[in-house]
Amino acid sequence: MALSAEAVERLAQLGYATDADLRFWQGLWQSEGESFFWGFLRKEEQAAEEYRRWFPRLQAFAAECRRAIPVPAADSFSAAEREQHRVLLAKMREFAASEDRRCVLARKPHQAAILSTPRVGLAAAEEVFGGSVAVLLTESERERWLSEV
């Protein structure tokens, strides 16, 4: 049985419109049944609503954090910090070039990628992930976001 027009429309509103997306959802409909499909779709719609509500707040929080603590220039680091930066930069580049990055950066619609690093790693994170959809925070900022906000 094919997906209904209503199902296809609701999926498109969530950003699921490619043939691969629709094959996944069609398979879910066929393997798990219509009742499961609609329940799963409702959960995706709820997640999308939460994302629309919280992601702008997360972005504003990250922007405020960068105003309070700007990304430090690597040339201002001590010798130990430069070495830590060098190691973090290499690890971040390695991750960005790997297939594993898709688990974090090529996420489903309505999911935020939050990457955290020590303060000294901010310059490396900005260099490697600054053009991506990821939100960059220090470890302490991430903890504050999760516990206070």
- Can you give the residue ranges of every domain in the chain? 1-49, 69-149
Statement: residue 1 has pLDDT above 80: no
Paired tokens of 80: 């130990």
Q: Mean pLDDT, the chain, as a whole number?
A: 92
Task: Provide the whole-model pTM.
Answer: 0.80
C-alpha 123/C-alpha 74 separation (Å) is 7
Statement: residue 7 has pLDDT above 80: yes
Residue 105 pLDDT: 81
Say if CB 72 and CB 102 are below 8 A apart: no
Fill in the DSSP letter of residue 120.
G
Residue 106 pLDDT: 74
Residue 104 pLDDT: 82
Work out the pLDDT band at 107, boundaries 50, 70, 90: low
